[in-house]
C-alpha cells in the first residue's frame, strides 16, 4: 500500500510526521511516533507470569509491598504485620492451561494506539514503524535487570532470538515479515544473536481474526518446523511476535522448538490482546485508518 500523495508532500516539507496520527514531529528526535501515540502505549508493569497479560490492581499493590521495603514500611496495613496475600502468579486465562513456552513478555495491552500500530505493521511500507516498535520493546526488555520488578519478572538469560516466520507466499506478498524486523531490533537491544530462518512454516494458515480460541488452536496445529536443529539444540530461545491473543501461534512455535531440543522458550510480543476469550470483529485496515487520519487533518 502506497502512502497518500498529500502525506508525501508533507514529508518533503516536514520530513517527520507521526505514522499513526500524522502529527508533525517538530523539534523531536523521533522520526516515526509522536509523544501522544507513544504515551498511549503504556508498558504492562505487573504481568501474568505465563502469558504477559496485565494482572488486577490488587496484585500490583501486593507485589509493590513485597518487592519494595520502603513501600512496605510506609504501609500501615503491612507494618501491622497482617499476613500478605499471595500474589496471583497467573491470570484467569492461564488457569488450567498448559503452555509450551515458559513465559511471554508483553510490552503493552492491545488497545488504542497499539491496535493501530499492530495493524499498520502488517502492511507493506511500514517497516520504519516496525523498526521503531522493535526498538521500544527491545529497550524495554533490556531494562528488565534494572527494573524494581526484577524479582517479579524473573528475566531469563537467553541465547538466541527467533522471529515467528510467515509462510513464503505471504512473505512474498507482504514484502517483509514484521516479526522478523521486530526480532532484529530486539536482538540488537539485548545483545543476542538472531536466527531468522531457524524456524519455518510448513503450510499456509488462514487468518486468525474471526476464529474462536479452539479454531485458532486447530488452525495453528503443527504449523511450525525447525529448519536448523543445530542452531536450536540446548539453546534458550526468545521468540518474537507482534501480537499475542489466544497464544496458539506462540504455543505451536514453542512446541516445535522444544521438540528440536531447545532448553527453554520464552517469548516477547508488542501487544497482548486481553479479550482472548471473545472473538473480536475484524477491525479497520491500515488503509482505512490512514483515510480516517486524512479526514481528521
What does the block give as the cell for 59? 496484585
Binding mask of the shown chain, residues 42 to 81, with x at each position contacting Zn ion by CB under 5 A: ------x-xx-x----------------------------
What does the block give as the cell for 91? 491470570
Select the residue interacting with Zn ion from 91, 118, 243, 289 (CB under 5 A): 91
Select the residue interacting with Zn ion from 17, 25, 34, 226 (CB under 5 A): 34
Measure the CA angle with vertex 77, ends 75 and 83; round to 5°: 120
**Site membership for Zn ion, residue 20 (CB under 5 A):** yes
**Site membership for Zn ion, residue 25 (CB under 5 A):** no
CB of 75 to Zn ion, least distance (A): 27
**Site membership for Zn ion, residue 18 (CB under 5 A):** yes
Give every CB contact of residue 292 below 8 A, 6+ residues apart in sequence: 284
Select the residue interacting with Zn ion from 17, 44, 55, 94 (CB under 5 A): 94
CB of 93 to Zn ion, least distance (A): 5
Which CB sits closer to Zn ion, 160 or 265?
265
**Site membership for Zn ion, residue 21 (CB under 5 A):** yes
CB of 30 to Zn ion, least distance (A): 9
Do you know the residue count of the chain?
Answer: 297
- Which range in 9-17, 40-48, 72-80, 254-262 contacts Zn ion by CB under 5 A? 40-48
Select the residue interacting with Zn ion from 16, 17, 32, 37 (CB under 5 A): 37
Measured CA to CA, the distance from residue 210 to residue 215 in angstroms comes to 9
The contact set with Zn ion (CB under 5 A) reads: 18, 20-21, 23, 34, 37, 48, 50-51, 53, 90-91, 93-94
Amino acid at each position: 500500500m502506497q502512502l497518500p500523495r498529500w502525506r508525501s508532500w508533507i514529508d518533503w516539507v516536514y520530513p517527520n510526521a507521526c505514522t499513526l496520527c500524522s502529527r508533525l514531529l517538530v523539534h523531536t528526535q523521533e522520526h516515526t511516533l509522536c509523544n501522544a501515540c507513544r504515551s498511549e502505549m503504556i508498558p504492562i508493569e505487573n504481568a501474568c507470569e505465563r502469558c504477559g497479560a496485565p494482572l488486577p490492581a490488587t496484585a500490583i499493590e501486593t507485589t509493590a509491598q513485597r518487592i519494595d521495603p520502603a513501600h512496605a514500611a510506609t504501609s500501615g496495613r503491612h507494618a501491622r504485620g497482617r499476613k500478605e496475600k499471595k500474589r496471583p502468579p497467573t491470570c484467569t486465562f492461564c488457569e488450567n492451561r498448559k503452555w509450551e513456552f515458559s513465559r511471554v513478555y508483553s510490552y503493552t495491552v492491545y488497545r488504542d494506539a497499539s491496535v493501530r500500530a499492530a495493524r499498520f505493521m502488517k502492511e507493506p511500507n511500514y517497516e520504519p514503524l516496525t523498526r521503531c516498535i522493535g526498538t521500544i520493546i527491545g529497550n524495554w526488555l533490556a531494562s528488565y535487570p534494572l527494573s524494581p520488578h526484577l524479582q517479579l519478572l524473573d528475566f531469563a538469560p537467553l541465547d538466541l532470538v527467533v522471529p515467528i516466520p510467515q509462510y513464503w507466499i505471504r512473505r512474498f506478498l507482504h514484502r517483509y515479515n514484521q516479526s522478523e524486523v521486530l526480532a532484529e531490533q530486539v536482538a540488537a537491544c539485548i545483545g543476542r544473536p538472531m536466527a531468522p530462518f531457524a524456524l519455518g512454516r510448513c503450510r499456509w494458515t488462514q487468518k486468525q481474526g474471526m476464529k474462536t480460541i479452539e479454531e485458532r488452536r486447530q488452525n495453528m496445529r503443527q504449523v511450525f518446523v525447525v529448519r536448523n536443529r543445530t542452531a536450536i539444540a540446548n539453546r534458550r530461545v526468545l521468540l518474537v511476535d507482534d501480537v499475542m491473543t489466544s497464544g496458539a501461534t506462540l504455543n505451536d512455535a514453542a512446541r516445535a522448538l522444544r521438540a528440536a531440543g531447545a532448553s527453554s522458550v520464552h517469548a516477547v510480543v508488542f501487544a497482548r490482546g486481553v479479550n482472548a476469550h471473545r472473538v473480536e470483529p475484524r477491525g479497520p485496515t491500515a488503509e482505512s485508518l490512514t483515510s480516517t487520519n486524512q479526514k481528521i487533518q
